[in-house]
Amino acid sequence: MKVFVLNCGSSSVKYQLFNMEDESVMAKGLVERIGSDDAILTHTPTGRDSVKRTASILDHTTAIGQVLEMLVHPEHGVIKDISEIRAVGHRVLHGGPTFTESVLINDEVKKAIRDCIPLGPLHNPANLMGILAAESNISGVPQVAVFDTAFHQTMPKHAFLYALPYVLYERHKVRRYGFHGTSHRYIARRTAELLGRPSEGLRIISCHLGNGASIAAVKDGKCIDTSMGLTPLEGLMMGTRSGDLDPAIIFYVMKHEKLSIEEMDSLLNKHSGLLGVSGISGDMREIEAGIESGDERAKVAFDMYIYRICKYIGAYSVALDGVDAIVFTAGIGENSPLLRQRVCDALGSLGVKIDAEKNDSKGKEIDITGEGSKVKVLVVPTNEELVIARDTMEIVSGLNNG
């Protein structure tokens, strides 16, 4: 079975085509600058050279149409006919309180995704556009929505509520949702496999450290708490996001700098985090380079970043009543041995030890647990697209059998 996985942004479409017989990726690619006369389609058939094409692509329907043409292209294609695609899986940012797992898309689901637009104003409209665009290109093929928030829906109420007037939860659905759910779910499952243990009884702290960063506490395969909140702004310090702060700072800064709501929003989401503190960059590689050249602010930004991860791990080890495995994933988690070393060095009180030699590795799935460590420490490259493809196949196969 061939499954087509889509991640649609407001002016971009990322795609992967999976052959689910062996879960291999047949092709992947990206369309950028949708809505302009010089949109760029980059298509990479697995094992062959990438192809780049510039064309006038004014909407998502055209974008997906062009991608499909590429997939069956006599030279660059990977399938003979579009009809080989038996299902489409979409990444959808916000499923609100409605979706606890992936679902087959129908009119009702589309409406519910639309209803979640106030909660995900940047992504949900684009995700929905992608769904409609795929539908109009390959009508009749079942589509599945996989939500970034769904995995966290198992959080207990005392973990997801904010200490605000309760009516705000009832009236505006103000609560913790959490994000990167598809990634944390993959990590939780893969960790159990790697440890050769069932999910039941396993306590995992999953650290997704990419451009955005979040931590999830997973017990018995279910999320019990996570660091991102109503929006992806809460929790860890990130590349350009502030993460946790005293909410009163917002009023204080708005008043003294005479900022509008939009400016304050942009300050917290795009000018803070590693970039804001270091003044160098939101990219961890440049921060590490800055530290090497003796930059003081790069150093303090890095120290803050580590410290805040450790605080969350400490908190979640209590919430989980102990921890069996700490897992690092995503861009920084997979590629920064220094960061992992520093985090684990600070977790001595939890009995965490890592093997410095094994830790000296980038982008590979590896157990870096040190001798005598009470906690397993793993590096697991995340694979959200694969989770989307698996969910899609499972739901669609269920249809065919039922």
Which residues in this chain contact other proteins in the complex, by CB under 8 A?
11, 35-37, 58, 240, 257, 259-260, 262-264, 266-267, 270-271
Least Cβ distance, residue 30 to other proteins (angstroms):
17
Least Cβ distance, residue 380 to other proteins (angstroms):
31
Contact of 272 with 242, CB cutoff 8 Å: yes
Output the six-digit token pair for 273: 């985090």
| Residues ≥6 apart with Cβ < 8 Å to 155 | 176, 178, 223, 224, 225, 226
- Smaller CB separation from other proteins, 221 or 276: 276
Distance CA 4, CA 297 (A): 44
Least Cβ distance, residue 117 to other proteins (angstroms):
14
Tell me, rounded to whole angstroms, the distance of Cα 378 from its chain centroid. 18
Element (H, E) at 364: none
Which DSSP state fits 33? S
- Smaller CB separation from other proteins, 260 or 401: 260
Distance CA 125, CA 377 (A): 38
Least Cβ distance, residue 54 to other proteins (angstroms):
15
Distance CA 149, CA 104 (A): 16
Which DSSP state fits 242? -
Burial of 331 (0-12, 13-18, 19+ CB in 10 A): buried
- Smaller CB separation from other proteins, 61 or 226: 61
**Strand runs labelled E in 194-312:** 203-209, 213-219, 222-226
Output the six-digit token pair for 249: 């700072």
Give catalytic residue positions: 148
- Smaller CB separation from other proteins, 141 or 264: 264
Least Cβ distance, residue 206 to other proteins (angstroms):
29
- Smaller CB separation from other proteins, 39 or 71: 39
- The tokens 């759910």 sit on which residue? 181
